[in-house]
A and B are shown apart, each in its own frame.
Chain A
Amino acid sequence: MKRREFLIGSAAAIASRSASGQRPDQARLNRIGVMSLCFEPVLKSAAHPADPQRTVDILDFADMVAERFGIHRVEFQQTDFASTEPAYFGEFRSRIKKAKSQVNQINLEFANLNISAKDPVIRLEAIDLTKTWIDHAVALDCPRVMVNQGTLAPEVRQTAIETLKTMNAYARARNVFVTMEPRWRADALNVPWDVFVEVVKASGTRANPDCGNFPDTESRNAALPIMYGMTAGSSHVKNIPEKFSTADAIKISKEAGYQGIYTIEARANNGPDPYAAVQTIVDILLANM
């Protein structure tokens, strides 16, 4: 990973203590990111202006994560941003810098506008919007954007690869990585992980491994070593104890020689308190990295 330099490392945040009561190792904390998605219930929202639970402004998210967890990498959804005006991004970047933090990745969710669309017009719109967010990533000093690949069904796979290549060529010229994560949902038509890997390789993009997105332990154990060898320096970490061991997934990543970021994706299944849910995964990471 050479494309974009990071600012962090020397940050001396007043981090909360780990579950063991010891001061966490800052070098380990510097390899952890936190996704805004974890705090969706407490983020201020124009759609829920009167919700008293929503106390965190997205502009203050990095500061909150730094103060609360001693973590200086934050990851956003493109839907988090209230504006894409240069002045807004300028202010956003200033707040990130003030917290001595780094935007780790921006995850792009354009619904039907994705690389697997059959309609070439839709694919072109997906390219254009992604290019725009690559520009926004540059404005936010963010080294990665992650796209949602859609179905990658056999009949659209080749055009999806070509579409990704176009996006990636634009991104490379701007020192930004394009990544994709394996996705799996019990209620969906899913892309086998080996097909996903094939598309990542063919398009020249990078993998964003996500230990939670596999149907079973067998596929997780087979895929993670390969995907952790194809990253742009970042991955997602979930904690779903009834489904798999997060510690085991971290072990696999280490065996694959992974030296990048573990970004925490805590969700509703991790409990009603997002701060506690994230802390649980921070503790697992600190104990197993």
Chain B
Amino acid sequence: MKRRKFLIGSATAAISGSAWGQRPDQAKLDRISVMSGGLAPLLKGTARAGNPKATVDLMDLAATVAEHYGIHRVEFQHTDFPSTESAYFQEFRNRMKTVKSQMNQINLEFDNLNISSPDPVIRLETIDLTRRWIDYAVALDCPRVMLNQGDLVPAVRQTAIETLKTINAYAKTKNVFVTMENRNAPWEVVVEVIKASGISANPDCGNFPDNDSRAAGLAVMYKLTAGSSHVKHIPEKFDTAEAITISKAAGYKGVYSIEAASRNSPDPYAPVQTIVDILLANL
């Protein structure tokens, strides 16, 4: 991973202790990121207007994550941003810089606008909108955008690959990585498309139908990353610690970005903390 330099490393935040009360290893914390969705109940917004727990402005999420967990990487959905004006992004970047944090990735979810569309007009709109967000990633000093690839069925796979190549050619000129996570299609298909298009993988240990495919898929995908991946904790389905072991066996040195489901938790910080603790214990 060479494209974009990071700011972090030396951050010295006043962080909360881990589950066992010890001060976490900052080097390990610097390999962890938190996705905005994991702290959604805390975020102000029209969807949560009137919710007394929704006290954090999106611009201050990085500060909240740094203060609460000692983590200086945050990851956003494109739908999080209430504006795409340059003045807004400038202020956003300043707030991130103030807390010595880095935007890890922006995840793009354009619904029916995706590379698997059979309609060439829709694919062109997908290219244009993704390019726009690649420019926004640059404005936010963010090294990666992850897109939703749609279904990648055989009938559209080749045009999907060509569309991705066009998107990736633009991203490369801006020093931004384009990534995809395993979803919507068998992991082998996702890997085939990633390789054919020259983009990078964003492995997600939660997105496999069973442990066999998880073990096989993660070992391959962790070698195809742009330095980031998603980590979930679904104990009834798989062992997160084992997934981390697979990533280490594959020689992965990148970021683990926490994707926690916090909607029904009485403590909105707790689900993320659980995964932070698993990561710190197993990295």
Contacts and interface: CB of A to CB of B under 8 A. Distances in A.
A53 interface: no
B132 A132 contact: yes
Contacts of B121: 79
Q: Is the interface of B mostly helix, strand, loop or mixed?
A: helix
Interface residues of B, number: 20
A85 B110 contact: no
A83 interface: yes
A132 B130 CA distance: 11
A110 interface: yes
Contact of B81 (A47, A84, A124): A124
A128 B120 contact: no
A209 B131 CA distance: 33
A85 B163 CA distance: 12
Nearest to B109: A121
A132 B124 contact: no
A128 B85 contact: no
A267 to B, nearest CB: 20
Contact of A121 (B79, B120, B125): B79
B22 interface: no
A120 B84 contact: no
Nearest to A169: B85
Interface residues of A, number: 20
Nearest to A85: B166
Contacts of A46: 120
A24 B81 CA distance: 55
A46 B122 CA distance: 13
Contacts of A133: 128
A166 B82 CA distance: 13
A79 B133 CA distance: 21
A81 interface: yes
A127 interface: yes
Contacts of B127: 84
B84 A127 contact: yes
B46 interface: yes
B129 A132 contact: yes
A125 interface: yes
A174 interface: no
B126 to A, nearest CB: 10
Nearest to B85: A166
A120 B58 CA distance: 15
Nearest to A124: B84
A253 B1 CA distance: 61
A132 B85 contact: no
B172 to A, nearest CB: 15
A79 B119 CA distance: 10
Contact of B83 (A124, A129, A131): A124
Contacts of A47: 120
Interface in A99-154: 110, 120-121, 124-125, 127-129, 131-133
A137 to B, nearest CB: 13
A287 interface: no
Interface in B83-142: 83-85, 110, 113, 120-121, 124-125, 127-129, 131-133
A125 B120 contact: no
Interface in A222-237: none
B124 A83 contact: yes
A129 B128 contact: yes
Contacts of B85: 166
A128 B84 contact: yes
A133 B128 CA distance: 9
Given A110-B125, A121-B79, A124-B84, A131 B132 contact: yes
A84 B128 contact: yes
Nearest to B128: A132
Contacts of A132: 128-129, 131-132
Contacts of B128: 84, 129, 132-133
A195 interface: no
21 contacts: A46-B120, A47-B120, A81-B124, A82-B120, A84-B127, A120-B46, A120-B82, A121-B79, A124-B81, A124-B82, A125-B110, A127-B84, A128-B84, A128-B132, A129-B125, A129-B129, A132-B129, A132-B131, A132-B132, A133-B128, A166-B85
9 closest pairs, A vs B, by CB? Answer: A132-B128, A121-B79, A128-B132, A79-B121, A46-B120, A84-B128, A132-B132, A129-B129, A128-B84
